[in-house]
């Protein structure tokens, strides 16, 4: 009887310890500001090798191995769907990354969405459809995300270099796509961390009267575009650019409109100028793809 009581006491202490650890992590996460870039994996850390992972491809059912050397950098997106909050956050993160697909493809970065809650697999189709994901989606049927990585925030992202070394782990924030953008540029040595931080947290600069009027012309142009008044919209964008020649949204929007007008060279110049001023501007990247298709 005494032995049984001892075993029960030991089991109770172990359970209490596990619950306490979970609550500490949960509280710590809740206290993080929403723009935090806290490392959201318990069992791995930056600059350590990615452990061998094995996930099942959602459509084909084939098993796929991760870890070790790969063709290029890898972005693993871990997500769940057991509650509404996780579902909505997963849709936002996946759709944001999908919109920037060209950015990752041009840099040889592989994307993989890993669903970490196989018990709720019936929820996957709806989320993938709403996010319009066209990159590979896997199911963690062996729950290695928890056992080997210790993921505790969903969605979370793990960025891995081409030689299999963990560069960064990111937990959910409303601006996760922009933070991921910056980390990829740092990994590929396109920008320094100081430059990325400055871009993510720009100093508030009061706009000049001309810049404010340019913004008004630009907004009016968007209104005209919605009403299919394209020629007038281009005129308004020209007015905006006269007031603020480096106003990227106006440069890019005019370039996008000129594609449908068949003015490919001028469109290409405007899009290139916009991307030179603001690399990674998603509207410019989308229209750049449309321009290449139109040329063909």
Q: In terms of domains, do 225 and 93 share one? A: no
pTM of this prediction?
A: 0.59
Direct distance between the N- and C-terminal alpha carbons of the chain, in angstroms, rounded to an integer: 82
Give the total number of structural domains in the chain: 2
Q: Which of 149, 168, 200 is the C-terminal boundary of a domain? A: 200
Instruction: Give the range of the structural domain holding residue 126, as residue numbers without chain letter.
Output: 53-200
Q: In terms of domains, do 186 and 287 share one? A: no
What pLDDT, on a 0 to 100 scale, did the predictor assign at position 208?
84
CATH of the domain at 252: 1.25.40.10
**Is 23 part of any domain?**
no
Q: In terms of domains, do 184 and 72 share one? A: yes
72, 99, 253 from 214: Cα distances, Å? 42, 27, 13
**Is 273 part of any domain?**
yes
**Is 35 part of any domain?**
no
Residue 146, Cβ density class (10 Å: 0-12 exposed, 13-18 middle, ≥19 buried) = middle
CATH of the domain at 111: 3.40.30.10
Joined tokens for residue 194: 């100081």
| pLDDT reading at 202 higher than 50 | yes
Q: What confidence category does residue 35 fall into, taking pLDDT thresholds of 50, 70 and 90?
A: very low
Q: In terms of domains, do 143 and 227 share one? A: no
What pLDDT, on a 0 to 100 scale, did the predictor assign at position 290?
92
What pLDDT, on a 0 to 100 scale, did the predictor assign at position 175?
86
Provide mean pLDDT across the span 15-37.
42
Handedness of CA 279, 228, 95, 25 (dihedral sign): positive
**Is 3 part of any domain?**
no
What pLDDT, on a 0 to 100 scale, did the predictor assign at position 55?
97
Q: In terms of domains, do 184 and 291 share one? A: no
């Amino acid at each position: 009887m005494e032995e049984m009581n001892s075993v029960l006491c030991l089991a109770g202490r172990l359970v209490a310890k596990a619950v306490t650890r979970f609550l500490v992590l949960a509280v710590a996460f809740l206290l993080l500001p929403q723009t935090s870039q806290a490392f959201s994996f318990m069992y791995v850390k930056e600059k350590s090798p990615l452990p061998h992972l094995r996930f099942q491809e959602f459509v084909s059912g084939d098993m796929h191995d991760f870890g070790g050397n790969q063709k290029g950098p890898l972005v693993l997106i871990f997500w769940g769907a057991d509650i509404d909050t996780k579902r909505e956050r997963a849709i936002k993160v996946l759709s944001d990354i999908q919109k920037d697909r060209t950015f990752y493809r041009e840099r040889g970065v592989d994307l993989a969405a890993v669903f970490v809650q196989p018990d709720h697999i019936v929820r996957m189709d709806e989320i993938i459809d709403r996010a319009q994901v066209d990159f590979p989606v896997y199911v963690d049927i062996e729950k290695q995300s928890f056992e080997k990585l210790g993921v505790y925030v969903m969605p979370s992202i793990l960025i891995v270099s081409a030689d299999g070394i963990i560069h960064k782990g990111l937990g959910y924030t409303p601006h996760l796509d922009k933070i991921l953008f910056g980390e990829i540029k740092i990994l590929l040595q396109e920008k320094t961390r100081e430059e990325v931080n400055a871009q993510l947290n720009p100093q508030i600069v009061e706009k000049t009267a001309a810049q404010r009027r340019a913004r008004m012309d630009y907004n009016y142009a968007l209104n005209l575009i919605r009403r299919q008044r394209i020629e007038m919209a281009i005129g308004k964008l020209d007015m905006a650019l006269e007031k603020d020649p480096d106003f990227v949204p106006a440069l890019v929007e005019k370039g996008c409109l000129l594609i449908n007008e068949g003015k490919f060279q001028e469109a290409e110049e405007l899009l290139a100028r916009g991307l030179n001023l603001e690399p990674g501007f998603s509207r410019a990247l989308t229209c750049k793809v449309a321009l290449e298709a139109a040329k063909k």
